[in-house]
Amino acid sequence: MALVDQYSGVIFDYGGVLVFHQTRQDIEKMASVARLPTDIFEKHYWTDRCAYDKGLMTAEDYWNDLAKRTQTSFSPAQIEGLIEGDVESWIRFDQVMYGFADRLRSEGKRVAVLSNMPHELGQTIRTRTQGFKPFHHVTLSYEVRSIKPEREIYEHCLSGIGLRAEETIFLDDRLENVEGARQLGIHAIHFTSSNEILPRLMSNGNR
């Protein structure tokens, strides 16, 4: 019996699992809009990202805060361009992983998305793409005011998918999120690439 067959559902992280990571070109493009050196922009891009993902600050607040920390200011047009560039950098879908999700669903498995992401990205995925279509349930951090690896966000997803922790596999590219899931009894796997992880899931053990 394949490893995945021993579980009733699979929960997928979004960024770095269902979609490819941002490219260097993405970061350089946003840095150009911000009129900042790429290394400075990238460093501050992740500061306060948790608050933004948690829905505790608006996109305008997030970008204005970044500007303040880099001793500059952004015009409304720049902020609009930064929001657009940020969203576009996170919607390059990995068709291999979507094929895997479709296969699981066709076999009767429950499938869900559990992701830290801001409002603008979530709304774009819902209104402009089919990125959430294959999934029975979606838990997004900005909607539940909780981020991985906090316990509450995992519990929300388990409730939504209708499964117990021990009935699920969780795939995430960040080790801290994997550990957070394991603390609840979820079989969590550190996702590195579809080429490495999918064969493990389809094998008879978790090597």
| Residue 80, C-beta contacts closer than 8 angstroms, at least 6 positions apart | none
CA neighbor of 105 nearest in space, from 4, 1, 190: 4
Dihedral (CA of 159, 138, 17, 30) sign: negative
pTM of the model: 0.95
Could you tell me which residues are beta bridge partners of residue 112? 11, 137
Q: Could you state, in chain order, the average pLDDT of each consecutive group of 10 residues for the chain (207 residues)?
A: 95 98 97 98 94 97 97 98 98 98 97 98 98 98 98 98 98 98 98 96 69
pLDDT tens for residues 105-150?
999 999 999 999 999 999 999 999 999 999 999 999 999 999 999 9
Choosing among 3.40.50.1000, 3.40.50.150, 3.30.750.24, 3.40.50.2300, the CATH entry for 3-21+93-201 is 3.40.50.1000
Boundaries of every domain in the chain: 3-21+93-201, 24-88
What's the whole-number average pLDDT of the chain?
96
